[in-house]
Each structure stands twice: as C-alpha cells, then as structure tokens.
C-alpha cells in the first residue's frame, strides 16, 4: 500500500491493531455470591431484592424474595438473621438491617395482596406434606411452583405449626401469619387441618401420593429431670405459649420462674409480663451464651423481665400457702463440652431458693418419634436424612425440626425447599451436575430460582465475596436505620400489640441504599470510566457492561475499582 | 471509518499504551469534554508515542504532533488560523506531558499564555520523562528515584521540590488554572468543560500515575492517584483571577507513608532509618498544601 | 517594505515573527498594515523564532496560508521546525534575511545562516535585487502550495544590502496577483469534518520511502518552478523565477558562479573584463535548493574553469556552493572548479577581487594546475 505523504494518517486506524493479544489475565464479569445469601438458610437473593427496593421497585423485590422464601413477613419478624452477621458492611460501619427490610417488603406484599407466579405447568402428581409448620409449608409452596398438587395434612385445628403455637402475638401478629398462609391456599395448595394419621400412612400413603414430606417438627418440651417436676404449677413452655395463643392463658399467679435461655424461654417470660405477672429467667450459663436471639433478650430485660444467670434448678417443692419453691445452685463455667459449649459446673454450697407461683420449663424441644421409628431411621437427634432431605426410603422425605440441625424458622424453610427439589428430582430423575450448581457458597444455601427458571447470567461464580474484595473507597459511612418500636415500656407490656413497628418507606429506602451489593453489578460505571483502552462498553444504557476482548489488555483496573467485586481476573490460556 | 461499539468514544482502542496507563484514561475523558469540534495538539511524549505509530491512530478527532517544545506555539498558530477562517467555534486544546510543559516547552507556553489565546493547555503530569525511560524532570517530586537522578549510596533521589507550574500559569494572569487527577475523571471532565468556556488561556494539570515509571501493579493506577490526593500531595483546586475558587476536600486523610510505600520509586526511603526520616520532608509538603489550600 | 508589500498582496492568513536585525523592517511594515486594517491577517507576536516558526507551522497545518521571516540566529532556532514542516509536507513561506552566524556575533551579511538549512527540504531562492525579492515572494507562495511540491519555501535576501537600501521597485496590480495566486486549497489539513493524525512516527519499513518522496518533490519542483514562472510572466509581465541566470556564458573560458546581491558586483566586473577581451561569463544561482545541477552542467561543460564565490563555509570542508557545483560537474575533466570564499560577515567584495579571482581561474585552467579546497580571498594574514 502506498505510503502517505508526510506520514499523515486517517484517524481511528488503531482499530486495526488488536491489543487484546497482550493480555495475560482477562477480566470476566462474574456475579459472585454475597455472604448474606450464603448465610441465609432460605437462600434468598438478598442483594437483588435490596437493589430493587432501593429503586422503589417493591413489587419486584417481593417477587425476588418469593423465588426462594414464601414467608418474608414472617421471617422479617422472627428470623435470627444470620445474614446480618455475615454482612460485609459490618466491618465498614454497621451491618445492613436486612431482617427489617425483608419485613418491609413482605408487608408490602401483604398489603397489596401480591400473588406469586407458578412458573411450571400443572402436573398430575400430588405430594403429601405432613405438618403445616414452616418446613412443611415451604416445601408445599415450592412443590406447587414446580407444578405439583399438594395436600398439607395438619393435626391441630390451625395451620402454622411452631409459628402458630410457639411465637407470641407481639412478635408475630396472627394476621401476618394468617395472611402468608392464606396466600398458599390461593395458589391451590390444600391445607387440611385436624387430620390424624397412623403409622400405616407411611406405606399406604404412597399409593395415593407420589411422595411424602414429613415435617412434624419438635413439639415436645424437654424435662428438667429434677425432683418435683411433676407438681402442679410446673408447666411446659410450648404448652404455655400454645394455650395463650389459643385464647386460654393458664392462671400463673404473680410470680413466674422461667427455666431456660432460648427463644421459647424468652417468649414465655415476655408473655408472662403481658399477662400482668412478674417473670424471672433462670439460665445456667452466661448472658452471651444464651441461645435466644440477643435482641429479644435485650428487649425482655428492658421490659422488666428478671434474670438469674449462672443458675441451675435443683429441686422443686411446695410451700403451704406460699406457692412453689425452686431450689437453685450457682454455676461457674468450666471447659467446653463435646458440643463446643462451656460446661456449667455447680459451685458447692451456693444453693439458694426462689419462690414463685408457677414454674415454666423451656429448656428445649424434642421430636416425638413414636409413629415413625419403624418406617424411617430415627434417633435422639431426629429422623436421619441426607443434605436434600431424603430419608433413604424411596418417596419419603423429611425436614425442619424433625431432622437434625439448627432449630430455626429459616433453616426449616431451607430444608423444605431442598426437599421439594429432591422430590422433583425423585419423580423426574436427577440432574446431579445442575443440582450442585444450585448451591451458593459453602454453608448449604441453595437457589431454587436457578432450578426453576435460571436468570440469564454471562458467568456465575461460586466465590463468596469478602470484605477485602470490595473497593471501599466508593462507600461513605452512613448509620444504620433504627427500627421504630414502642418505646414506652408500660404501654408495651400492657398489651400484645406488636412491639416493632417496621420501617417507613423513607427508612426502607435509606437503609437499602447502604447495601454494598457484594457480587452484584450496581451500574456504578467505574469499569467503563476507568478503562484506559476504551474496552468496556454496553449496547444499552440499562444493561450491564461487556468487555471488548479484541482490545482489552488485562490491566485489571476495572476489577480493582469495582466496589462490589463483580469482575474476576482469570488467567488466559495460551 | 469502521463504526465501533460506542462511537462516542473519541479515543479508540488499539493504542500502544502500557496496560493500566493513566494518560489514556485522562485523554478519554478530556475528549468527552471537548467533543468532536476540536483540534488536539500533543508535543512529543508518552501520549504522542503510543498514539501515533504510522497507520494506527486512535484519534477520532484532528490531531497533530509537532515537536517536543512547541505544543503551545503550534496550538497558537492553529488558533490564529481558525480565527482567520472565522471558525473559532472549533477549539484548539493541547494535551502534553510534564516534560514538554514544565521544562522544554515552558518558553512557548509562556508566550501562549501571555498572548491570551483561548486555548486550554492540559498537562498530564506523570512526574518524569517517562517516554524516554523514566528520567528526572522538574515535575518529579522530592525524593523520587529516576534513572538520571537515582537513589543510591549517596543520593536520596530528587533533591529539589516539584516545580509549581500552576502558580507559574497563574502568574501570567490567565483566565483559569486548575489541578485534576486521573482518579477523579468526572471532576477532570467538568474542569475541561469549564476551561472551554474561557475567552482566554487556561491551564489544567492532571496528576497521572504511571505504573511503569512509579513501580506499582497496573490495576492500582486509580488507587495510587486517590492516595496522592488524600495525602494532600496532589491537591485538586481551581483558580480564577489569581484566587482559589474551589478545592476538593479530602474525605479521609492519609499519611504520606501509605502513598510512598506503595510505589517502587520511593521504596529506597523505607530501607533505612535515615530514609524514613527523609519522609518527614514530604509530609511537610503535604501538611503545607493542606493548610494553605484548606483541604480538610 | 517591498517584501512586506509582496507578502501583503498574497493575503496570508497568519503571520508570526520575532524581531532580529536585519529582518525587523519587514515585520514592522506588516504590523503597521495590520494595525491600519489594510491587511486582514492574524498577526501573532511570538516569544521566540522557534515559536514563530511553530505558529506558522500550526497555521499551515490548519489549512491557512502563513508567513514568517528571520535571520541568522533566529533561522537556526527555526531549523527544527523547518525540517518538521518539510517532513510533514506543509507549505509555508519564509524570508531569510542573510546575516552571519555567531560566534562571534555579527549583524553583517553572509550566507552561512540560510546555507545551514540546505539539507532540510526547504526550497531556497537567493535574490539579487529588491525587485527580484518582490517578484519572488509572490511566486514563493504558489510554489510552496503546489500539490506536487508541498514544501516550505524561503526567499533569501542579503541583510542591509537589500533590506535597508532604497531602490525603485515596480509593483504588480492586485488583480494580477489574485489571478496568479488563487486562495490556498490545502491537500491535507486539520479539520473536524475529516479527522487526520499528523506527525506519526514511522518505522524503518517506511521512513526511507517518505524521505525519498521529499527528494522526489524537490526534483519535480525544478520543472514546476519553470511552469509557474511562465505563468507569472504571462499574467504580470514581470520576469518569472528561474533556477539559474546565465550571463555571457556562451563560449566563455571562465565562468563565475555566485548567489545573492554579490551577483550585481560580479556582473559589473564581468562587463569590464569582457570589454578587456577576457573570456568570462557568470552564472547566478537563483535557486539553491533544489540545486540546478543539470542547468549548470549544460552551461559549464564547454568552459575551461569555473570559479565559485561562496559567502559561507562548511567548516571542515569547502564552500557549500562550490561543493554542489563540483558534484554537478564531477564527471567532467573540464572545466576545472575552483572555490573562493568571499565576503563573510559583510566584508566588501570589490570588482578588483573579482578580477583577481577570474585571473586565478584562468591561470589554473591554462596550467592545468589542480587546486583543491577553498581559497579564502582578501584575508588579512597579518592579524592571524
């Protein structure tokens, strides 16, 4: 080609020189896993629903949660929020109030009577779900979304399981619970109450139903195993709460001793206050070691619940005309036991007594295996299952508190979801590779959305985004929104009104803006802004960016400046 | 010309800049501010070299590379020609390096300022003669090691402070003087836009980290620039009529060690007690900037 | 003043200059014309000659006819830009007012300054009179802007002798000049409508070819100058440019060769010698670059000796003009070429000197003595 005079050339001709072959590493947009999602047993896509909430797209945010968890209003009130403990923002200033935001979005759904889609077509098979607690209902929900017919079989007169009978009104109002359960009925899930099943159901039932999911829960209170426990005036925690929920609170007198440190014990104590009596919690370890949600314990103490820590009950006796006498002993903490928790050791001759009218025992629950032992494998921890909820007996699955594992609502929901997936696979055949890709991170969280209706994604990475991965120069400190609540203690304990009132829309918007969006592109455009080689571009202003690999030199600035760590640098294969 | 994915990018890819080059980022944003109705003049330097191998030009606007020391003079001539043709709507902008601006081209620059041509002169300052191999320039900061004034057994590197070009520019009574940084490209964009509204000359000095010359991994170009700003060593401000009219306030102040330690050209300071003591001189410069300009 | 009038009539868009004796009158006259609204140019006062040349280079790149002038040290300072303009193929017109180069400093005339630019790709004409300067400046713009040439053009005129003297000059009607010199239409220029990149760097695979093309343009210019000159003569009636002017060279035994105002003195001497029966003629080299080797060869091939009078010197070698002449005649055994260095830094060259030079040449021719190197004429050996 003839040389041009004066070495004058046309502009833009550098497009003929492909600097892409300089690269040693290539940037790849890879949506990583946010630690909050990894920690969520229900596998909710928290980053996405917060991003949608931030843009006031509350309907979309609700649908995002509903892809994985059918009970946002419930969880937004009672969940122990492991997501917040994992939140990367907690190392920057304070973690996101994810729990409160889930509640806000869930309540938006209830208020606007939003209905979830059923993405799969109707199938002829019907599945039986035994038990209408969170595990059972979550399983039913996901099965229904997969197209199956579902019969939920509940022994008691009302659906909800532990949610109904074990959590007081001031934490989870009945209308909220009923609203979220009613929604399931409108989807076509049959919830049959006052159904009594015998042990033959586990064999004969498989003729009528294609599979059975056992979600009986753990509803038998453990006993103290001390003298005097059978005296009248000694109640079990779940029985007490159930009676209150049923409208028949038992007479408890003026002074109530509540033995235990978990959520049930705390719920009992705060309920007692609202009945007009004076509760005292008796817990054998220290405050920090109480298994109950820390916030709940704090509120309980603010409301006026008394507490005796490092105290174990020894003996119950009656005193004529003065109610019950609970003899206790003080503890000191010893070395950790087999479960990793420190062993309380009684301090000799530290005995003392507490007088009370009623003693409520709330030290934990167990499942009631009587009908199950012949059909499925079962031990003290519960019915044995694999990570998918399969019992080993074809067609029989189990989950929730009935099986070994953390006794939380979100865990129950997660197990119900996994079992639904396992049931779908059982009926249709496994796709093991695809099933493994559903897991997010390393803590057992799983995406049902990926199974049902995978959203298009250029590249998904299973890498969990850490605090160090984020470029924090782009974040400003901003205090966490606080939950509006009834602050007048007298007013609070004078009724069973819900204590926390939920974020206003303004509060929800402010708080959702604090989300770092770990692993999700927030369209901040840093990659585009800082590319020296004009090689980050997009066709449409509403879409995320792409890399022009013909020219990208792999300098890595885009990955480094991405606040949310959405770009991974991957070695080029030569 | 081959239409490319985003034709608003007036600085096409395929240029030969080092991966992670700060100048390329600055140039993209300068051209976003100028738009297409512009003629760019670049004296000899990194930018000129990596954008003009024969037959491979990324410039989608008219561009001329004259010599090393006459960027400002050639721009003056172009501007006069446009004025003659009654096409003063076409703007002339110089994008030149610190070598061409602070040293060899300072005479021509002074002439351009004195005559008051409506030309924004934008200096991308990577603090040495990078194109020819990282040699010392009057723009090189105190204690930096360069190939012609390296750190050694009897030397801490540059022994003189950085020449204050913005002050020299302002002493010419030109319309607008500003400092900017590659790490804050939107700010640079606004400043270029503002310079283009001036009826006389303006000068913008863009602090431009250079991974090859300063000794840090290429992905950290923006990070290093940010650190420079947040120590107070690269203050961002605007001046009109001899007065400071705006400064960029430092959000979270950083001690100069954090900035110096991150670069190979200063690592000799960290290798001995005396070296670390020398750092105090640099901290004083930062402190002085912060106080004088009110950066906190 | 005549030069200023010539430049004015060519309507340059941008003028830039930096003062240096003896160029000052020209640029001052132009400045006054601009100030009085007679000349619609952008007159840019530069901070140095280097900047002045750069300004003009930039203006030319932007597609506007441009002009500057300098002398001596100023020309040296412009050198980098002139090479650059030639390489970038930009037309610009310069007046080179000849003056000696420092050190030692002198403001008197010789040709060392413009001769030092002879390798750059700049087209150079040396004028003998103010009239010629006037005529040549007008043609210079057209030569530079010719699409086959596209090189800077310099009109060299002896400082003080031609710039600070009074001479009647016949001016040309503006209409005729407009007919001869249409508005500048650039082949390539900086224009947002068609973005071009000027000043690329070229690798070894193309660079030699680009330089070769500059030489090619120089070669083409030889014929083109003739065409343009004919056009000039036809339109204006004034004599057009020529590469050389041959004066009484037919059948001359000795031919003298010189450039610039010195030629006037040489013509006087030649006339006197011829009337004494001496067979001598002279060639005035009008265009030094491109060097009119063929024309000189044709003219000199039957002479016995050629005496070249240089007003400059290539230190370590010989007078530059004589080197060019010797190269042109190198394949011939006859004529014998002698090099004489005369008139440096304004030293007067008298007709006696020219008589003596002619005699020397004649003697060398007859005795077939070979004279190497240059002879420095009128040197005061008593002060060496």
Three-state DSSP string of A249-295: CCCCCCEEEEECCCHHHHHHHHHHHHCCCEEEEECCCCHHHCCCCHH
Q: Is the pLDDT of residue C117 over 60?
A: yes
Please tell me the distance from the alpha carbon of residue A150 to that of residue A134, in angstroms, as a whole number: 15
Nearest to residue A571, comparing CAs of A23, A20, A170, A136? A23
Which residue reads 């010599």 in tokens? B67
- Asked if B143 and B156 touch (Cβ cutoff 8 Å), the reply is yes
CB-closest option in C13, C201, C203 to B81: C13
| pLDDT at residue number B62 | 97
Which chains have at least 3 CB atom pairs separated by less than 8 Å from chain C? Answer: A, B
Please choose, from the candidates A139, A169, A171, the residue with its C-alpha nearest in 3D space to the C-alpha of residue A153.
A139
- pLDDT band (50, 70, 90) for residue B2: very low
**Confidence (pLDDT) at B3:** 42
From C68, C76, C58, select the one nearest C93 (Cα to Cα).
Answer: C68
Both structure tokens of C310: 């240089």
**Which of B37, B83, B107 has the CB atom closest to C42's CB atom?**
B83
User: What span, in angstroms and rounded, lies between the C-alpha atoms of B78 and A360?
Assistant: 93
Contacts of A536 (CB under 8 A, 6+ apart): A527, A528, A545, A546, A547, A548, A552, A558
Q: Using the 8-state DSSP alphabet, how is residue B129 labeled? A: B
Q: Which of B41, B66, B115 sits opposite C44 (nearest CB)?
A: B115
Tally B–C CB contacts below 8 A. Answer: 158
Tokens of A523: 């369209």
**Run of H or E residues at C320:** helix C320-328
Strands C336-341 and C287-289, by their bridges, are unpaired
Beta partners for residue A192, in sequence order: A153
Distance CA B111, CA B169 (A): 11
What contacts B21, CB < 8 A, 6 or more positions away?
A532, A555, B46, B50, B210, B211, B221
User: Cβ distance C335 to C306 under 8 Å?
Assistant: yes
Q: How far apart are CA C131 and CA A403, in angstroms?
A: 114
C212 contacts chain A (CB < 8 A): no
pLDDT tens per residue, range C259-313: 999 999 999 999 999 999 999 999 999 999 999 999 999 999 999 999 999 999 9
**Quick one: pLDDT at residue A371?**
64
CA C175 from centroid of its chain's CA atoms: 27
Residue in C180, C165, C137 with CA at minimum distance from that of residue C7: C137
C109 CB-contact burial (10 Å; exposed 0-12 / middle 13-18 / buried 19+): buried
Beta-carbon count within 10 A of B160 CB: 11
Percentages of chain B per state (helix, strand, coil), in multiples of 5? 40, 15, 40
Do the beta carbons of residue A125 and residue A420 sit within 8 Å? no
Q: What is the pTM of this model?
A: 0.88
Q: How far apart are CA A255 and CA A319, in angstroms?
A: 14
C198 to A12: CB separation less than 8 angstroms, yes or no:
no
* Environment class of A188 (CB within 10 Å of its CB; exposed 0-12, middle 13-18, buried 19+): exposed
Chains in contact with B, where contact means 3 or more Cβ–Cβ distances below 8 Å, are A, C
C-alpha to C-alpha distance for A323 and A321, rounded to whole angstroms: 6
Separation of alpha carbons A29 and A187, rounded Å: 37
DSSP 3-state assignment of C203? coil
CB contact at 8 A, B199 and B118: yes
Chain-chain contact of C16 with B80 (C-beta, under 8 angstroms): yes
Instruction: Please tell me what DSSP assigns to residue A452.
Output: H
Would you say B141 and B127 are in contact if contact means Cβ atoms under 8 Å apart? Answer: yes
In whole angstroms, what is the distance from residue B275 CA to residue C137 CA? 65
Report the percent of chain C where pLDDT is more than 70. 100
* Average pLDDT for runs of 10 along chain A of length 574: 86 93 93 92 93 94 96 96 96 96 98 92 94 96 95 94 92 95 95 90 90 91 89 92 92 94 95 95 94 92 94 91 90 90 92 94 83 74 88 92 91 95 88 73 81 64 90 94 92 92 96 93 90 90 84 96 93 85
User: Can you tell me the mean pLDDT for B235-256?
Assistant: 94
Is the CB of residue C14 less than 8 Å away from at least one CB of chain B?
Answer: yes
C256 alpha-carbon distance from chain centroid: 18
**CA-based R_g, chain C, Å:** 21
Q: Strand pairing of B120-125 and C123-126? A: unpaired
Q: Comparing C-alpha atoms, which of A168, A101, A192 is closest to residue A496? A: A168
Nearest CA in chain C to A4: C210
ipTM, 2 dp: 0.94
Closest CA relative to residue C116, chosen from C163, C66, C161, C80: C80
8 A C-beta contact, residue A440 and residue A38: yes
What is the percent of chain B where pLDDT is above 90? 94
CB atoms within 10 A of CB B227: 23
DSSP secondary structure of A140-189: HHHHHHTT-EEEEE-SSSSS-THHHHTS-TTTS-HHHHHHHHHHHHHTT-
Q: Which long-range contacts (CB under 8 A, 24 or more apart) does A178-185 make?
A: A179/A73, A179/A110, A180/A70, A180/A71, A180/A72, A180/A73, A180/A74, A180/A106, A180/A110, A181/A132, A181/A137, A183/A70, A183/A115, A183/A116, A184/A70, A184/A137, A184/A140, A184/A141, A184/A144
Percent of chain B clearing pLDDT 70 (strictly above): 98
Instruction: Count how many residues are written for chain B.
Output: 296
Helix (H, G, I), strand (E, B), or coil: what is residue C309? strand
Q: Considering only alpha carbons, which residue of chain B is nearest residue A18?
A: B14
Flag whether pLDDT at B118 surpasses 90: yes
Residue A455: predicted pLDDT: 62
Q: What was the pLDDT predicted at B204?
A: 98
CB contact under 8 A, A15 and B226: no
Cα C214 from Cα C208, distance rounded (Å): 10
Distances (CA, A) of C92 to A278, A304, C138: 103, 96, 12
Chain B CB contacts of A540 under 8 Å are: none
Give the model confidence (pLDDT) of C225-258 as tens digits. 999 999 999 999 999 999 999 999 999 999 999 9
Helix, strand, or coil here: A439? strand
The residues near C156 (Cβ < 8 Å, ≥ 6 apart) are C96, C97, C98, C111, C114, C124, C125, C126, C127, C259, C260, C288
Say how far apart CA C232 and CA C6 lie, in whole Å: 14
CA neighbours within 13 Å on the CB side: how many for A561? 26
pLDDT for B242 equals 87
Flag if B77 and C13 touch (Cβ within 8 Å).
Answer: no
Q: Which residues lie below 8 Å from residue C275, measured CB to CB, with a gap of 6+?
A: none
Tell me which residue in B12, B13, B222 faces A530 most closely, judged by beta carbons: B222
Query: Closest Cα of chain B to A29: distance in Å?
Result: 16
Decide if A115 contacts A187 (C-beta within 8 A): yes
CB contact under 8 A, A5 and C202: no
Instruction: Establish whether the linkage from the previous residue to C103 is cis, with ω within 30° of 0.
Output: yes
Q: Residue B269: what pLDDT?
A: 93
Could you tell me how far CA A203 lies from the centroid of its own chain? Answer: 33
SS (H, E, C) A385-425: CCCCCECCCCCEEECHHHCCCCCCHHHHHHHHHHHHHHHHH
Q: A-chain residues within 8 Å CB-CB of C206?
A: 3, 7
């Amino acid at each position: 080609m003839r040389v041009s005079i004066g070495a004058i050339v046309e502009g833009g001709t550098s497009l003929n020189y492909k600097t892409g072959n300089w690269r040693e590493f290539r940037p790849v947009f890879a949506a990583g896993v946010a630690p909050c999602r990894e920690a969520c047993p229900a596998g909710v896509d928290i980053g996405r629903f917060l991003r949608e909430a931030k843009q006031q797209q509350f309907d979309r945010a609700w649908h995002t949660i509903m892809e994985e968890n059918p009970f946002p209003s419930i969880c937004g009130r009672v969940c122990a929020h492991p997501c917040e403990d994992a939140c990367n923002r907690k190392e920057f200033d304070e973690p996101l109030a994810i729990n409160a935001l889930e509640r806000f979005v869930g309540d938006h759904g209830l208020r606007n009577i939003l209905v979830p889609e059923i993405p799969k077509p109707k199938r002829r098979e019907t599945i039986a779900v035994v038990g209408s607690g969170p595990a059972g209902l979550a399983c039913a929900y996901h099965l229904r979304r997969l197209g199956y017919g579902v019969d939920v079989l509940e022994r008691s007169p009302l659906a909800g399981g532990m949610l109904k009978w074990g959590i007081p009104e001031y934490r989870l109002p009945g209308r909220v619970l009923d609203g979220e359960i009613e929604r399931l009925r409108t989807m076509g899930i049959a919830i049959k109450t006052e159904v009594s099943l015998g042990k033959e159901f586990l064999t004969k039932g498989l003729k009528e139903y294609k599979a059975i999911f056992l979600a009986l829960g753990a509803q038998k209170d453990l006993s103290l195993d001390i003298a005097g426990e059978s005296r009248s005036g000694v109640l079990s925690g779940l029985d007490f709460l159930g009676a209150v929920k049923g409208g028949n609170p038992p007479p408890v007198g003026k002074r109530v001793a509540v033995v235990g440190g978990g959520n049930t014990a705390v719920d009992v104590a705060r309920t007692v206050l609202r009945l007009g009596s004076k509760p005292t919690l008796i817990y054998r370890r220290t405050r920090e070691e109480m298994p109950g949600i820390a916030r709940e314990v704090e509120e309980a103490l603010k409301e006026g619940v008394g507490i005796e820590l490092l105290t174990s009950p020894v003996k119950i006796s009656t005193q004529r005309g003065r109610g019950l006498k609970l003899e206790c002993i003080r503890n000191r903490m010893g070395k950790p036991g087999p479960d990793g928790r420190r062993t309380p050791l009684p301090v000799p001759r530290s005995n003392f007594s507490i007088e009370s009218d009623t003693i409520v025992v709330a030290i934990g629950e167990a499942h009631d295996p009587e009908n199950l032992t012949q059909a499925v494998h079962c031990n003290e921890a519960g019915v044995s299952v694999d990570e998918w909820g399969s019992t080993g007996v074809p067609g029989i699955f189990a989950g929730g508190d009935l099986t070994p594992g953390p006794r939380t609502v979100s865990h129950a929901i997660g197990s119900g979801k996994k079992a639904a997936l396992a049931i779908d696979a059982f009926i249709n055949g496994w796709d093991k590779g695809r099933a493994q890709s559903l897991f997010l991170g390393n803590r057992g969280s799983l995406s049902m959305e990926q199974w049902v209706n995978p959203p298009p994604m250029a590249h998904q990475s299973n890498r969990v985004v850490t605090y160090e991965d984020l470029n924090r120069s782009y974040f400003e400190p901003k205090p966490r929104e606080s939950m509006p609540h009834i602050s007048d203690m007298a007013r609070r304990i004078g009724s069973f009104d819900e204590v926390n009132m939920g974020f206003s829309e303004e509060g929800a918007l402010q708080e959702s803006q604090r989300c770092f969006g770990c692993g999700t592109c927030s369209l901040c455009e840093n990659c585009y802004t800082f590319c020296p080689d004009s090689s980050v571009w997009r066709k449409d202003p509403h879409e995320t960016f792409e890399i022009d690999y013909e020219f990208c030199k792999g300098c890595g600035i885009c990955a480094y400046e991405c606040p949310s760590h959405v770009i991974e640098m991957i070695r080029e294969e030569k | 010309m081959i239409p490319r994915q985003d034709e608003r990018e007036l600085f096409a890819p395929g240029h030969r800049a080092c991966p992670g080059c700060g100048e390329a980022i600055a140039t993209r944003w300068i051209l976003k501010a100028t738009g297409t109705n512009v003629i760019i003049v670049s004296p000899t330097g990194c930018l000129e070299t990596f954008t003009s191998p024969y037959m491979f030009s990324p410039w989608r606007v008219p561009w001329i590379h004259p010599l090393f020391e006459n960027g400002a003079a050639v721009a003056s001539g172009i501007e006069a020609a446009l004025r003659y043709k009654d096409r003063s709507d076409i703007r002339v902008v110089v994008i030149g390096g610190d070598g061409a601006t602070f040293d060899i081209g300072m005479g021509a620059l002074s002439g351009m300022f004195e005559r008051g041509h409506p030309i924004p002169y934008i200096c991308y300052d990577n603090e040495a003669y990078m194109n020819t191999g990282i040699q010392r320039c009057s723009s090189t900061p105190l204690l930096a090691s360069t190939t012609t004034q390296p750190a050694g057994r009897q030397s801490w590197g540059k022994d003189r402070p950085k020449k204050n070009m913005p002050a020299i520019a302002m002493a010419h009574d030109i319309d607008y003087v500003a400092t900017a940084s590659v790490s804050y490209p939107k700010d640079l964009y606004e400043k270029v836009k503002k310079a283009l509204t001036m009826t006389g000359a303006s000068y913008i000095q863009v602090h431009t980290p250079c991974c090859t010359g300063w000794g840090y991994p290429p992905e950290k170009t923006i990070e290093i620039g940010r650190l420079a700003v947040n120590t107070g060593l690269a203050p961002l401000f605007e001046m009109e009529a001899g007065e400071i009219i705006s400064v960029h306030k430092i959000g979270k102040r950083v001690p100069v060690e954090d900035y110096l330690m991150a670069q190979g050209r200063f690592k000799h300071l960290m290798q001995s007690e005396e070296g670390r003591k020398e750092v105090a001189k640099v901290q004083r410069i930062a402190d002085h900037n912060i106080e004088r300009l009110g950066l906190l | 003043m005549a030069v200023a009038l010539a430049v004015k009539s060519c309507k340059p868009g941008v003028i830039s200059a930096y003062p240096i004796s003896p160029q000052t009158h020209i640029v001052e006259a132009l400045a006054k014309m601009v100030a009085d609204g007679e000349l619609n140019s952008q007159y840019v006062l530069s901070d140095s000659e280097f900047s002045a040349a750069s300004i003009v280079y930039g203006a030319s790149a932007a597609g506007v006819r441009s002009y500057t002038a300098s002398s001596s040290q100023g020309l040296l300072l412009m050198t980098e830009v002139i090479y650059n303009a030639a390489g970038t193929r930009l037309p610009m017109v310069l007046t080179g007012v000849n003056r000696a180069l420092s050190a030692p400093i002198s403001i008197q005339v010789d040709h060392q300054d413009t001769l030092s630019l002879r390798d750059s790709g700049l087209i150079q004409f040396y004028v003998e009179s103010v009239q010629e300067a006037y005529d040549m400046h007008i043609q210079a713009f057209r030569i530079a802007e010719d699409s086959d040439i596209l090189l800077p053009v310099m009109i060299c005129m002896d400082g003080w002798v031609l710039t600070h003297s009074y001479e009647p000059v016949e001016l040309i009607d503006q209409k005729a000049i407009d007919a001869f010199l249409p508005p500048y239409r650039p082949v390539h220029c900086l224009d947002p409508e068609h973005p071009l990149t000027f000043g690329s760097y070229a690798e070894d695979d193309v660079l030699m070819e680009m330089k070769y093309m500059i030489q090619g343009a120089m070669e083409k210019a030889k014929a083109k100058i003739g065409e343009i000159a004919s056009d000039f003569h036809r339109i204006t009636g004034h004599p057009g440019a020529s590469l050389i002017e041959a004066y009484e060279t037919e059948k001359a035994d000795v031919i003298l060769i010189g450039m610039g105002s010195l030629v006037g003195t040489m013509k006087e001497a030649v006339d006197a010698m011829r009337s004494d029966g001496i067979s001598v003629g002279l060639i005035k080299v009008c265009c030094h670059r491109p060097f009119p080797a063929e024309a000189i060869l044709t003219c000199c091939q039957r002479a016995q000796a050629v005496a070249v009078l240089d007003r400059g010197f290539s230190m370590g070698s010989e007078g530059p003009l004589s080197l060019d002449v010797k190269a042109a005649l190198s394949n011939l055994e006859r004529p014998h070429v002698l090099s004489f260095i005369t008139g440096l830094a304004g030293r007067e060259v008298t007709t006696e000197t020219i008589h003596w030079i002619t005699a020397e040449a004649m003697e060398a021719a007859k005795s077939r003595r070979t004279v190497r190197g240059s002879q420095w004429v009128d040197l005061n050996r008593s002060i060496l």
